[in-house]
Chains A and B, each alone.
Chain A
Amino acid sequence: MQAAIRIAPADTRDWGRAMAAELTHVEGDWGALMWSLGSAGVLARQALISLIVPGRQGQGVVPDDGLLAKSPTLRNALLTVTGACLLAALFFVASPPFRQAFQVALAPWHALIHHNPQPDFADLARRAGARQDAEGLAFCAIRSRYSWGENVRLADEAVRLDPRLLWVYAVVAMQNPALPETATWVERLKQWDPQNALFYLISARLLKQGRFHEGPPAPEQWQAWQNAMASAFQSAKFDDYLDRVAQITQRVVPRYQLYDPREVDSRTQIDLPHYAFEDSENYARILLADGEKQEAKGDIKTGRERFWSVARFGQLIDSHARTDFERWMGMGLQSAAYERLQASFQKQGDGPQASLFAYLAARFDPGNAPEFPQGSALGMRTAGRNAAVVEMSGLMILIFAGLALAALAIIIAAGRLEGGIVAQRVRPVAIIVGLSSALGILFSTATLYLTYRPYWYIFQSAIQTGDRLPTADLRFFLNDLSAPAGFLPHVLHTLLSALLYSGSPSFLFYVWTGVTLLGIGGLVLIVLRRLRGGPRAHAP
């Protein structure tokens, strides 16, 4: 009770002493305890009220700083806590994972404001050009999405400086077969790596590009496409050069100290494009239909050869798959071929062979593969939630920093008006706003650091060891950071993703909302006090 009396406003202390004096007469220890707890509660409530609205009850003509004026110790304690929170937040800022996390967290907001969703490689390309760094130029040629013409220039420059990087043409052409340079590049690549099915897939798409959509293809175009696909299906190897991409990434990232994982992990855009699957599926369908037709005619051997050529191509893609998509594509082709083989042996009454192919068809059915997506330890849903939490944490750090700066400016201004009534009225609230903002900064900083930390390790592992297995998590996470159109929809989408992850508002919601409201409410109160401060200053 003595402590409660000490923190009570001046006009309430007599009441505190009155309550304390009654303690001597209260019967029983339990009764005395209840009495003192109730009394201390009354005094604490009065102290809190005086802290927020000092002099609200009109007892003091000259308003004071409330609790803080009477207790410099408490004021110093609050300022110390504020400083400690900011210092602790600075420790996070000093760590590389946090700096990367903050950069990643603000990227969607930056993209939203500047309508620029992709990282800009222009600066990196300039630096690599100045250093005559072939790998740096190749890195930019593969990842930049702003100008295909610029990508071609960068790829040409990289190959000119280091002819061993010829494969860069394949990666650039794979992403955009419609480039005028594609045909020339593919011919060079076929000589350089003759057994690779990738070039035939690109050629097939080049034949199809912009021609089949204009109407039925001419017979010779159709035949040329079929020939290209037949060559792809008969190829002895498949390499999309993602291993080489990973190798130059390992070297370029530390060389240029790239911290934005979006610059590094653009593998969803470098993966085998969807057209390769579409063309492969279409050609496989043609082969399977032809095989069934041959079987119907009685030419079982030719029919099965057609089925086997599809299965072999599926095996080729599956065994060289670097991505989930490639693996999925390879498995799908195999499964379809094994189904036909099973039916073929079934018709011939070869039960054991039919059972074997039935097993294989089920084994390679992509729908039965529970481990998809491969390499994801945390899962897509967690990645989505983490992306939203990271985004919100970055935004909240900025909001709290703004509140803290406003509070600091008010405290400094109040210090210059030392002794003024307005200064006395606003300073305690500004201290509280500063404290709540510092707490908010520390909380959001810690949340951002802890949420992003696994992705930092994935990033480091991918860069340093070339281990790409867990990069699916990083990829899902980065994909979820993409911004929907419009600021408000994006804020709502992010907020709901972050808060309703488990079906109900989480702890984050209460902290962010509470601290933000406290800070903003404090600033509003300061403004109101400033407005009220003038007339009261002249009161007798």
Chain B
Amino acid sequence: MKTPRLSPETLLVIQKFAERPTDWLYGYELSRVTGLKSGTLYPILMRLERYALLEACWVATEVGVPPRHTYRLTPNGLELAQTKLAEARPRAMVRQPAFCIG
């Protein structure tokens, strides 16, 4: 399976998805939890969707308000997220003590 280049921001986004793998998340919600602005977040979502790692659907929320786009990881996306996050975790753990000395 071809995978996109995963920047730290992309890893952050898929981490948030992976924390709630079954939930559909809104764009603004993701922006708030990741701290990424729309100009950074949406290109990431678009790229993940292009690689079939993310699925999106429109949902109607309330009357008079436009339907919203919601997102969650596909099974492929979830698998990739678990792999990448697992790879990233030991590096973080090794690095951590070095900064704590002293």
Residues of A within 8 A of B (CB): 12, 14-15, 17-22, 24-26, 34-39, 41-42, 45, 57, 59
Contact = CB atoms under 8 A, between A and B. Distances in A.
B27 A38 contact: no
Contacts of B24: none
A22 B40 contact: no
Given A21-B68, A21-B69, A38 B46 contact: no
Which 9 pairs of residues, A with B, have the shortest CB-CB distance?
A38-B39, A18-B69, A38-B38, A21-B66, A22-B28, A39-B38, A22-B27, A38-B37, A35-B38
A45 B46 CA distance: 13
Given A18-B68, A18-B69, A25 B28 contact: yes
Contacts, number: 57
Contacts of A25: 26, 28, 68
A42 B68 contact: no
Given A12-B46, A18-B27, A24 B37 contact: no
B35 interface: no
Interface string B39-81: 1101101100010000010000000011111000000000000
B38 A42 contact: yes
Nearest to A24: B65
Contact of A41 (B39, B65, B69): B39
Nearest to A42: B42
Nearest to A36: B38
Contact of B27 (A19, A37, A59): A19
Nearest to A34: B37
A121 to B, nearest CB: 67
B4 to A, nearest CB: 12
A22 B68 contact: yes
Contacts of B56: 18
A59 B52 CA distance: 13
A20 B39 contact: no
A58 to B, nearest CB: 9
Interface string B3-16: 00000000000000
Contacts of B67: 21
Contact of A15 (B37, B46, B66): B46
A38 B28 contact: no
A36 to B, nearest CB: 8
B54 to A, nearest CB: 12
B38 A19 contact: yes
Contacts of A21: 66-69
A47 to B, nearest CB: 13
Contacts of B31: 35
A56 to B, nearest CB: 12
Contacts of B68: 18, 21-22, 25
Interface residues of B, number: 19
B14 to A, nearest CB: 18
Of A25, A45, A57, most buried by chain B (CB within 10 Å of CB) is A25
A42 B69 contact: no
Contacts of A38: 37-40, 42
A21 B42 CA distance: 13
Contacts of A26: 28
Given A17-B69, A35-B37, A42-B43, 13 more contacts: A12-B46, A14-B69, A15-B42, A18-B42, A18-B68, A21-B66, A22-B27, A22-B38, A34-B37, A34-B38, A39-B38, A41-B39, A57-B50
Nearest to B27: A22
A25 B28 CA distance: 7
A287 to B, nearest CB: 86
B55 to A, nearest CB: 13
A2 to B, nearest CB: 12
Nearest to B26: A22
B50 A24 contact: no
Nearest to A38: B39
Contacts of B66: 17, 20-21, 24
Contacts of A19: 27, 38, 42
A463 to B, nearest CB: 62
B42 A39 contact: yes
Contacts of B38: 19, 22, 34-36, 38-39, 42
B34 to A, nearest CB: 14
Contacts of A22: 26-28, 38, 68-69
16 contacts: A12-B46, A14-B69, A15-B46, A18-B27, A19-B38, A19-B42, A21-B68, A22-B68, A22-B69, A25-B68, A35-B37, A36-B38, A38-B40, A38-B42, A39-B39, A42-B39
A140 B28 CA distance: 82
B64 to A, nearest CB: 10
Contacts of A45: 43
A22 B42 CA distance: 12
Interface in B74-95: none
Of B45, B46, B65, most buried by chain A (CB within 10 Å of CB) is B46
Nearest to B28: A22
A36 B37 CA distance: 10
A452 B37 CA distance: 51
A294 B43 CA distance: 98
Nearest to A41: B39
Contacts of A42: 38-39, 42-43
Contacts of A18: 27, 42, 56, 68-69
Nearest to B49: A15
B71 to A, nearest CB: 9
Contacts of B28: 22, 25-26, 35
Contacts of B37: 34-35, 38
A318 B27 CA distance: 87
A45 to B, nearest CB: 8
A18 B66 CA distance: 9
